[in-house]
Amino acid sequence: MAYYSRLVGCGSYLPEKLLTNDDLAKIVDTSDEWISERTGIKQRYIAAEGQLTSDLAREAALKALDYAGVKASDLDLIVLGTTTPDDTFPATAVKLQAQLGMTGGAAFDLQAVCSGFIYALSVVDSMVRAGQAKTALVIGAETMSRILDWEDRGTCVLFGDGAGAVVVRAENGIGENEPRRNLRRGILSTHIHSDGNYRDILICSGGVSSTGQAGVIKMAGKEVFRHAVNNLTDVVLEALAANNLAAADIDWLVPHQANQRILESTRRKLGLDANKVVLTIDKHANTSAASIPLALDTAVRDGRIQEGDLVLMEAMGGGLTWGAALARW
Ligand code: UT7
């Protein structure tokens, strides 16, 4: 039996507390003008004290399950992309598994920082195609505010908190080698990469084994920027080539929201219209693994992304890690 992954629902959640650029200018030496011009960010949401990554993930997951009409008891897999887990162990995903009332199957976290959602989607798609999972939740959830150095204006203005989720269901009938394969609704292909030689240019300064503390984000911004533009262009072209599709076939680019200038550069290299790019960076800032499912959910619920639309998702983050996923909604 040839299985493939159908995307049957999505959901997202943002915490209540809003922090504008002007609010930040009262904390560090920055301005709305600098942040808007260099990044496209206007505001971000910050988790309340005591509000954990699992709390954000649960809200997004419940909305995605509701959208899909799937009960938590029907799930047999949760993969949660996060770099800000509730505890060192066990995985935030197993806490969620218990909270949702899912008793069977498996749940685990996946660490690929800002590429976490693409990586999680890739792992889930592989497991679905291998017949190892039938109904899965793929989540990106982060409380990035907990690992920011609020005195470092070069990083603290960039990130926000939030969560997004999709429900994936195994379908059968269209095998990898069938001619109309790229017309099927669901994941067409995923592509993931990493290069640990660049691990120091975007890093959290602590860890269980090294310092016993979580640490804070340190970034060589310009260098990361340069790698992002090159790696994202390469992986997007790789995804299109793998499906015999051209950039003109894409209905929506749903990118990781790190910097509007990075998104613009990928868009221009692909020759895509600006109105085909889902932009949420102005409102959400960089929510790491949560940014793609947050943007996807926004565009599905406001009616931009319609059934049958071809959606290209891409991300790059610490590792360096990067990847893309091509799907028909
Ligand atoms: O999601 C994971 C992947 N992450 C990314 O893809 C992020 C990639 N990098 C970036 O988005 C950009 O490099 C940043 C937005 C982080 C920085 O933009 P930039 O244009 O590369 O600025 P820069 O770091 O070269 O800094 C330019 C100037 C510096 O001042 P001098 O040395 O020219 O006097 C900084 O000190 O801007 C200064 N600066 C700020 N000024 C006001 C840095 N941060 C701020 C700030 N407010 N928040």
Q: Is 159 helix (H, G, I), strand (E, B) or coil?
A: strand
Q: What pLDDT was estimated at residue 175?
A: 65
In a shared domain, residues 194 and 313:
yes
In the chain, how many domains are there?
2
In a shared domain, residues 51 and 125:
yes
Nearest CA to ligand 1 atom 2: 317
Say if residue 322's pLDDT is above 90.
yes
Distance of CA 154 from the midpoint of ligand 1 (Å): 5
Say if residue 329's pLDDT is above 70.
yes
- CA 85, 116, 17 angle in degrees (round to 5)? 55
Q: Which of residues 172, 199, 231 is at a domain's end?
A: 172
Distance of CA 238 from the midpoint of ligand 1 (Å): 29
Distance of CA 52 from the midpoint of ligand 1 (Å): 28
In a shared domain, residues 83 and 137:
yes
- CA 126, 310, 225 angle in degrees (round to 5)? 80
Nearest CA to ligand 1 atom 17: 221
Nearest CA to ligand 1 atom 36: 154
Say if residue 302's pLDDT is above 80.
yes
Rounded distance, CA 329 to CA 159, Å? 28
| Residue 177 belongs to a domain | no
Q: What pLDDT was estimated at residue 182?
A: 78
Rounded distance, CA 293 to CA 255, Å? 10
Nearest CA to ligand 1 atom 16: 221
Q: What pLDDT was estimated at residue 240?
A: 96
Rounded distance, CA 108 to CA 118, Å? 15
| Residue 179 belongs to a domain | no
Q: What pLDDT was estimated at residue 184?
A: 84
Beta bridge partners of 13: 163
Rounded distance, CA 190 to CA 71, Å? 26
In a shared domain, residues 137 and 219:
no
157 CB near ligand 1 (under 6 Å): yes
Residue of 19, 159, 225, 229 to mutate, ligand 1, most atoms within 8 A of C-beta: 225
283 CB near ligand 1 (under 6 Å): no
Please check whether residue 263 is in contact with residue 255, taking contact to mean a CB–CB distance below 8 angstroms: yes
Say if residue 248's pLDDT is above 90.
yes
- State the catalytic residue, choosing from 114, 156, 191, 259: 114
Say if residue 103's pLDDT is above 90.
no
Rounded distance, CA 64 to CA 9, Å? 5
- The closest-lying atom of ligand 1 relative to the alpha carbon of residue 219 is 16
CB count within 10 Å of CB 248 equals 10
30 CB near ligand 1 (under 6 Å): yes
State the first-to-last Cα distance of the chain, in angstroms, to the nearest integer: 22
In a shared domain, residues 26 and 148:
yes
| Residue 60 belongs to a domain | yes
In a shared domain, residues 123 and 234:
no
Distance of CA 271 from the midpoint of ligand 1 (Å): 26
**pLDDT 10s digits, 136-188:** 999 999 999 999 999 999 999 999 999 999 999 999 876 666 767 778 899 99
Lowest mean pLDDT among 70-79, 115-124, 265-274, 290-299: 265-274
Q: Which of residues 116, 146, 172 is at a domain's end?
A: 172
In a shared domain, residues 144 and 201:
no
317 CB near ligand 1 (under 6 Å): yes
In a shared domain, residues 203 and 168:
no
Say if residue 207's pLDDT is above 70.
yes
Please check whether residue 242 is in contact with residue 328, taking contact to mean a CB–CB distance below 8 angstroms: no
| Residue 278 belongs to a domain | yes
Residue 204 a catalytic site member: no
Name the DSSP class of 211: T
15 CB near ligand 1 (under 6 Å): no
Alpha carbon of residue 251 to chain centroid: 19
Say if residue 220's pLDDT is above 70.
yes
In a shared domain, residues 214 and 266:
yes
Instruction: List the beta strands (DSSP E) in 2-62.
Output: 3-13, 17-20, 43-46
Contacts 24+ apart (CB under 8 A), 35-39: 35/157, 38/259, 38/261, 39/157, 39/158, 39/259, 39/260, 39/261, 39/281, 39/285
Query: Tell me, what CATH number does 321's domain have?
Result: 3.40.47.10
| Residue 183 belongs to a domain | no
Which range of residues forms the domain containing residue 43?
Answer: 3-172
Q: What pLDDT was estimated at residue 179?
A: 65
Please check whether residue 219 is in contact with residue 201, taking contact to mean a CB–CB distance below 8 angstroms: yes
| Residue 236 belongs to a domain | yes
Q: Is 44 helix (H, G, I), strand (E, B) or coil?
A: strand
In a shared domain, residues 51 and 89:
yes
**pLDDT 10s digits, 188-197:** 999 999 999 9
Mean pLDDT of the residues in the chain:
96
pTM, rounded to two decimals: 0.97
Nearest CA to ligand 1 atom 10: 221
Distance of CA 218 from the midpoint of ligand 1 (Å): 12
156 CB near ligand 1 (under 6 Å): no
Residue 286 a catalytic site member: yes
Distance of CA 275 from the midpoint of ligand 1 (Å): 26
Q: Which of residues 144, 172, 200 is at a domain's end?
A: 172
| Residue 180 belongs to a domain | no
In a shared domain, residues 49 and 158:
yes
Contacts of 296 (CB under 8 A, 6+ apart): 10, 164, 166, 254, 278, 305, 311, 313
In a shared domain, residues 95 and 242:
no
Q: What pLDDT was estimated at residue 181?
A: 74
Alpha carbon of residue 5 to chain centroid: 17
| Residue 182 belongs to a domain | no
Beta bridge partners of 151: none
